[in-house]
Amino acid sequence: MTGPRWMDFAGQAIFHTLVAALVIEALVRLWGVREPQQRIGFRLLALAWPLLVVPALFLVFPVREGEAFRDARSLFAGRHWDDLAFLGVGLYGWWITGMAVMGLALFLMDLVPWLRARSAEPPPWLARTPEGVRAEEALSRAAASLCMAAPPLVFLLDGQPVLYCTGTRHPAVVISRAAVDLLDPSELKGALAHELAHLERRDPTLSWALMGARALMWFNPGVQVLVRALARDAERVADERAASAIDDRLALASGLLKLFRATERRFPARSAEPFPLSASLAEPIARARAHDIELRCRALLAAAPEPIPLARLRFAAAAAGLGLLLFFVV
């Protein structure tokens, strides 16, 4: 029943993340937390568990790792599952291995296409085409709506509709001629306001930090799924910020839908390449992406979500309750 300390750490990091994520998800639903910024706050609490709380518990309370605590005080001890063995290896060991494989697969599924997209990025073109001028004017109007300075615009003479923001120290908005052609002026303003909202919140920097967290916790599938959920919430926050700034929720939803339809055929093919099994995953990934877009459009067609009252008190109570519960999970 003794084993390497790293195995206890990995097991607890994975198990604590799963419990914290499930508890937070249940609370978010039962408390009716719909405002995306508040959802991010609660999900960050679950994400903080494996990154901060579990290492702190190991450092500050080494007594938790003792067998006396495990046998007599804990609510749940993963090591007890080592009493059941398969092929000479305890089930706890099998479980950690399975979770690590799943975590690595989820991490690589996002990392490999991301690295490929970065290496295959076409050189930017700063062109004074009529579409480029239109995009610059729309960007200025969107920036004025958000009361921020317009960042540099990178205009691509690409055949594909492309629109995203980039840069941590030197933020910029990247747009292609096809995207400008696709969207009408109000949709273009809404879509650009969405990207500016990301820059306003420093989401590109945050995405690097989250990718770092994923790399650190590559073995933890809970972290991989949580970061994806956080990315979806960040999109919803940018949607709400842009919608309130331009005061046209419909135009933003319409632009979002047009860009999705124009690009939906590209994504399964790109994400299907990295792994032999990813061809079979392409369909569910495409469906999940379509579902995300549908949810975002539905949210934009409804009224802006109201924040729940007593959010800080709830957050503190949830953190304290989780802390108390997971202290006894080893």
The C-alpha atoms of residue 219 and residue 274 are separated, in whole angstroms, by: 19
- What is the closest distance, in whole angstroms, from the C-beta atom of residue 87 to another protein in the complex? 16
Q: Which stretch binds another protein (CB under 8 A): 56-64, 141-149, 173-181, 306-314?
A: 306-314
Using the rule CB under 8 A, give the single segment among 48-56, 232-240, 256-264, 310-318 that binds another protein: 310-318
35 φ/ψ angles, rounded to the nearest 5 degrees: -70, 120
Instruction: Check binding of 322 to another protein (CB under 8 A).
Output: yes
Closest to another protein by CB, 72 vs 147, is 72
The residue to which tokens 């979002």 are assigned: 256
Question: Within 75-94, which residues bind another protein (CB under 8 A)?
Answer: 75-77, 80-81, 83-84, 91
Q: What would the x/- binding string for another protein be over residues 25 to 64, using CB under 8 A? A: -xx--xx---------------------------------
The verdict on 313 binding another protein (CB under 8 A) reads: yes
Q: Which of 37, 74, 140, 244 binds another protein (CB under 8 A)?
A: 74
Stretch that binds another protein, among 37-45, 74-82, 116-124, 181-189 (CB under 8 A): 74-82
- Give least dist CB 10 to another protein, A: 18
Identify which range of 129-137, 181-189, 287-295, 307-315 contacts another protein by CB under 8 A. Answer: 307-315
> Which residue ranges make up the site for another protein (CB under 8 A)?
1, 19, 22-23, 26-27, 30-31, 67-68, 71-72, 74-77, 80-81, 83-84, 91, 309-310, 313-314, 317-318, 321-322, 324-325, 329
